[in-house]
Amino acid sequence: MSNPEDPKPGRRNFLSHASAMAALAPAALAAAPAPAQESHTAAKAEVLTTERPGADFMIDVFKSLGFEYVCANPGSAFRAIQESVVNYGGNTKPEFLTCLHEESSVAMGHGYFKVEGKPLLVFAHGTVGLQHASMAIYNAFCDRVPVFIVLGNNLNAATRRSNIDWVHSVQDAASLVRDFTKFDDSPISLHQFAESSVRAYKIAMTAPSAPVVLVADADLADHPIEGRTDLTIPKLANTSPPTGDPAAVGELADMLMQAQRPVIVAGRLARTPAGMAHLIELAELLQSPVVDLGMRMNFPNRHRLNLSPNSRALVENADLVLGLEVPDFYGLVNRISRQLEYSSQLITKAKLACISAGDRLAKSNYQDFQRYQPVDLDLAADAEATLPSLVEAVKKRMTGDRRRAFEARGAEYAKQHAAMREKARVDASYAWDASPVSVARMCAEIWAQIKNEDWCLVNGSTNFLSNWPLRLWNFDKSYRHIGSSGGAGMGYGAPAAVGAALANKKYGRVSVNIQTDGDLMYAPGVLWTAAHHRIPLLTIMHNNRAYHQELMEVQIAANQHNRGIDRAHIGTTIDDPNINYAKLAESMGMMGIGPIEKPDDLGPAIRRGVEAVKRGEPVLIDVVTQPR
């Protein structure tokens, strides 16, 4: 905010001055005498301090929104806001968490939300910081997760003090990420800052959720607010999510009642713990099998109707496929060849229905919306919010005959579920004593040590683990895992795990991070953040010494090109020298164990690790593993 008597144009009077000048006719401008060149050393009553900067009001706004933490790598563009957090705000709600990379800041917010259900605050430079952060913002966008990002910027060129101020300033800071955020604004007054902050929070949290960006101008943050009595913070009104049209819900209930072999597929369904409860109720009413795609903790893996590993056969044989927030419905019901020539084929004659809010947040440039799949019934609504009315509609249509028929098919699915679990145990027994350690063995060893704790898998439910946790562990509560990255951008896992562990801390849960090696090395400094802020977290390295997915991709290309099939490791492996992750962890101030290459050494090491985590420490155990 500018001093009204300041002869230099502050941001506010600079803008009003510019507007006034623009209103003048060109002729009048031409006739006017040339203005005297502004003196940059003009004498004035020097104001050296203020005890009530605009940043304090910004902190009031953040406190009103209930942020517990702000994650940031320090940056001069938001120095006043950072100072207000720690001094004016007392470094509590939000508490400043020191991050060593902006990608880590945002990914921590990503993981934190998926446990806590509310966004975390991130500060970053509007230029260099946002460029670092952009990958993690894209992941959060694809995963429909809100993160509240505040960018420092100095728009007023007349008050930039150094060459650094210039290279760290930008006309339209948020434009860099506008394609994959839901809302942004660049307020030019504190009043607007408050209003835009509340609006941004509301928009971010309204399903489908996504990151939002607010640019905090350095002039606004630095300058005094004394005497301002008109500043108010609007009340936050949370928005109820969009629900399905009652007629369409009724039509879907009819389809479900008539189907002989329905299958329910859950993608990003469960936004809250209620999502899982609603899905259980619907599945049990219908005695319908459920395929949980692992993007959220949608359905208990040991529920007798969970037939996720049999998804392909279920879809092929279904007469109705209902997708709930399934982002890639096309991939679900088509077989897409990975061979040189593209081909795809519909694999089912089933009727197709979906409930998804996905179309409510479609952007054009980044194409995370997937290939278009025609369906028979499409409800553009939030699935979790729509399920209660769908359950009621099914109940209204239930008859004794249908209930008996459903129970008969449910009994059959229960047998399939039991066989599926038995197959998982048999599959896990292969390579049981191998070195490098099989992923199945590693996951079984972890399970042995955490099964009697209140635990949460904060990273590791992905196919990088051949899905072993979901095949061997008991995921029985809504917080047992947090899904995956959304955008498949490497570097998500470690910081998201730390963010989720941060949220789990107050609940006393043992947070388990099965951490791939390539992902960790994008920004390993997040281990220091965990140590510095005493965030308890058990990190088990899935150290296959490669970017294994990319290794397989290059192998495919070499095979298809009929050459060099023994050279796919070039540029895809992380060895020679091997990275010692235990020493890396120790260097960051946390307990490091390993590398462990013999499977029999795993149990004692993990037991030690769990004990340390229960004392409140972060621990890393390096396990040299099989590829998948």
Residue 565: Cβ-neighbour burial (10 angstroms; 0-12, 13-18, 19+): exposed
Residue pair 163/135 in contact by the 8 Å Cβ criterion: no
**Among 225, 280, 434, 612, contact with other proteins (rule: CB under 8 A):** 434
Q: Which stretch binds other proteins (CB under 8 A): 133-141, 219-227, 440-448, 499-507?
A: 440-448
- SS3 call for 494: helix
Angle at which helices 400-429 and 439-450 pack, to 10 degrees?
A: 110
Shortest separation between residue 410's beta carbon and other proteins, angstroms: 21
Residue pair 287/263 in contact by the 8 Å Cβ criterion: no
Shortest separation between residue 314's beta carbon and other proteins, angstroms: 9
Judged by CB under 8 A, does residue 416 bind other proteins? Answer: no
**Among 462, 511, 516, 543, contact with other proteins (rule: CB under 8 A):** 462
**Among 236, 380, 556, 612, contact with other proteins (rule: CB under 8 A):** 556
Q: What angle do CA 169, 77, 53 make, to 5 degrees?
A: 125
Q: What is the dihedral of CA 263, 266, 271, 273, to 10 degrees?
A: 60
Residue nearer to other proteins on the CB measure, 560 or 587: 560
Report the distance separating Cα 30 and Cα 314, nearest Å.
77
Residue nearer to other proteins on the CB measure, 169 or 462: 462
Judged by CB under 8 A, does residue 24 bind other proteins? Answer: no
Judged by CB under 8 A, does residue 471 bind other proteins? Answer: yes
Judged by CB under 8 A, does residue 576 bind other proteins? Answer: no
Residue pair 171/151 in contact by the 8 Å Cβ criterion: no
Judged by CB under 8 A, does residue 327 bind other proteins? Answer: no
**Among 48, 349, 562, 577, contact with other proteins (rule: CB under 8 A):** 562
> Which of 474, 459, 467 is closest to 428 using CA atoms?
467
Judged by CB under 8 A, does residue 427 bind other proteins? Answer: yes
- SS3 call for 234: coil
Judged by CB under 8 A, does residue 338 bind other proteins? Answer: yes
Size of the site for other proteins (CB under 8 A): 53
Judged by CB under 8 A, does residue 370 bind other proteins? Answer: no
Report the distance separating Cα 534 and Cα 296, nearest Å.
27
- Kindly state the tokens that stand for 481: 């895992």
Shortest separation between residue 116's beta carbon and other proteins, angstroms: 25
Judged by CB under 8 A, does residue 258 bind other proteins? Answer: no
Judged by CB under 8 A, does residue 626 bind other proteins? Answer: yes
Judged by CB under 8 A, does residue 312 bind other proteins? Answer: yes
- SS3 call for 381: coil
**Among 568, 585, 619, 624, contact with other proteins (rule: CB under 8 A):** 568
- Write the CB contacts of 56 (distance below 8 Å, at least 6 apart in sequence): 84, 88, 225
Residue pair 198/236 in contact by the 8 Å Cβ criterion: yes
> Which of 54, 59, 61 is closest to 2 using CA atoms?
54
Shortest separation between residue 294's beta carbon and other proteins, angstroms: 6
Judged by CB under 8 A, does residue 607 bind other proteins? Answer: no
| Binding residues vs other proteins (CB under 8 A) | 291, 293-294, 308-312, 335, 337-339, 425-432, 434, 436, 438, 440-441, 444-445, 447-448, 451, 462-463, 465-467, 470-472, 548, 551-552, 555-556, 559-560, 562-563, 565-566, 568, 626-628
